[in-house]
Amino acid sequence: DAGITQSPRHKVTETGTPVTLRCHQTENHRYMYWYRQDPGHGLRLIHYSYGVKDTDKGEVSDGYSVSRSKTEDFLLTLESATSSQTSVYFCAISEPGGTGELFFGEGSRLTVL
């Protein structure tokens, strides 16, 4: 299994509070991604990173920010959580010039009350 660790794995929080999810990889892959998974929508890209301090928006980036200060860590922050951000969040990694495969973490389930 790819060395990807997400934390926390489960979190319950209240509307309006800040939340940070962490993705840590040991594969030294250049690209890192944050997806959210919701019933009826599959997996949708929130943000991605193509290197340290290099990030870009995905299709559902509103309300989220990211940071990558080290190759191995990619943080997803909800500045002020809303109930619509209740979801399962997955981190993924890939390597340029590789097969194109995405390697996923085990997910972080976030509930916003």
Partner 1 sequence: GENVEQHPSTLSVQEGDSAVIKCTYSDSASNYFPWYKQELGKGPQLIIDIRSNVGEKKDQRIAVTLNKTAKHFSLHITETQPEDSAVYFCAVSMNSGGYQKVTFGIGTKLQVIP
Residue 64 in the binding site for partner 1 (CB under 8 A)? no
**DSSP 8-state secondary structure symbol assigned to residue 104:** E
- The C-alpha atoms of residue 8 and residue 24 are separated, in whole angstroms, by 11
Among 89, 56, 90, 93, residue whose Cα is nearest residue 71: 93
**Residues 6+ away with beta carbon under 8 Å from 66:** 34, 46, 47, 49, 55, 74, 75, 76, 77
Residue 31 in the binding site for partner 1 (CB under 8 A)? yes
Say whether 85 sits in a helix, a strand or coil: helix
Judged by beta carbon, residue 17 or residue 91, the one nearer partner 1 is: 91
Stretch that binds partner 1, among 20-28, 45-53, 60-68, 70-78 (CB under 8 A): 45-53
Encoded one letter per residue, x for contact with partner 1 by CB under 8 A and - for no contact, window 65-104 reads -------------------------x-x-x-xx-xxxx-x
Using CB under 8 A, list all residues that contact partner 1. Answer: 4, 30-31, 40-45, 48, 50, 59, 90, 92, 94, 96-97, 99-102, 104-107
